């Protein structure tokens, strides 16, 4: 048994988090578990509804295209997902529309310049991605989860949520960078303690199946992650390593989540 993150597992987690790299918004959100769209007027602009759908799918594209070593083709696929969200938002909220296209343009330009994944730390991209993430969390009719990350625990995460699209806002109040990963536990007999004892082996052995990872946050910042969840049992973890390369989950930063 090893307490270290296996390179392939860690690479997948960090690559899946690039969408939210450095997403910093001032202020802290309280713990909520309610759809933001519940009090919206019935005449919600069609562009907003379509834009929400496209924007909500970007994290899945990141997972599919950038898990592992990012490639130019993978980055361009992410840029295309941003552009599709921007196109769908035409006629909707101008800030979200502009942010989606700004993120797409930044990634495309980085590929043309040979800058690679460094773009995900570029202030122009970060600002655009932050604005779009905030739009999805605040204005789209999805389940919203305001979660606080401390050293080393998640606060505000419910024990159970309804199936469907969920948007996580992760506020980092700790002194270390944190990230949030959501993995499905396919076998009801699997003990969470066995997974946490060696997360890398658990993933490689099929005890857990990673569904989404993102919302990378430095101390004092916020990040966002959108994920489609089907009914079942899930494990929410922070797999960022400490100074000795031990994942934060092994310090207790994990929660079990039921999706009904």
CA-based nearest residue to 177, from 14, 7, 28, 26: 14
Range with the largest mean pLDDT of 22-26, 41-45, 111-115: 111-115
**pLDDT score recorded for residue 94:** 93
pLDDT in tens, 74-99: 999 999 999 999 999 998 899 999 99
Instruction: Supply the pLDDT for residue 65.
Output: 82
In order of 15, 48, 82, 170, 236, the CA distances from 214 in angstroms are: 9, 24, 16, 9, 12
CATH number of the structural domain 1-12+147-260:
2.60.40.420
Closest CA to 167 of 44, 41, 33: 33
Average pLDDT for 172-184: 95
pTM of the model: 0.80
In 3D, which of 238, 227, 232, 250 has the Cα closest to residue 187? Answer: 232
- Look up residue 2 and give its two tokens: 């090893």
Lowest mean pLDDT among 23-27, 90-94, 148-152: 23-27
**pLDDT at residue 23, as a whole number:** 30
């Amino acid at each position: 048994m090893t307490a270290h993150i296996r390179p392939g597992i860690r690479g997948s987690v960090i690559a899946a988090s690039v969408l939210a790299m450095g997403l910093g918004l001032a202020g802290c959100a309280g713990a909520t578990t309610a759809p933001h769209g519940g009090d919206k007027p019935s005449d919600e602009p069609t562009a907003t509804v379509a834009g929400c759908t496209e924007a909500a799918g970007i994290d899945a594209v990141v997972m599919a295209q950038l898990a592992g070593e990012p490639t130019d083709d993978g980055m361009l696929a992410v840029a295309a997902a941003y552009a599709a969200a921007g196109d769908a938002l035409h006629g909707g909220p101008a800030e979200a529309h502009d942010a989606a296209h700004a993120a797409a343009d930044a990634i495309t330009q980085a590929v043309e310049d040979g800058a690679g994944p460094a773009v995900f730390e570029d202030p122009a991209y970060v600002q655009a991605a932050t604005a779009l993430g905030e739009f999805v969390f605040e204005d789209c009719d999805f389940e919203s989860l305001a979660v606080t990350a401390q050293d080393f625990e998640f606060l505000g995460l419910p024990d159970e949520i309804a199936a469907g699209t969920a948007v996580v806002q992760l506020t980092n109040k700790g002194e270390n960078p944190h990230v949030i990963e959501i993995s499905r536990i396919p076998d009801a007999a699997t003990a969470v303690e066995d997974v946490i004892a060696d997360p890398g082996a658990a993933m490689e052995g099929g005890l857990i199946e990673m569904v989404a990872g993102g919302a990378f946050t430095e101390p004092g910042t916020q990040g966002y992650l959108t994920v489609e969840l089907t009914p079942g049992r899930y494990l929410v973890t922070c797999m960022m390593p400490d100074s000795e390369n031990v994942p934060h989950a092994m310090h207790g930063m994990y929660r079990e989540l039921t999706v009904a």
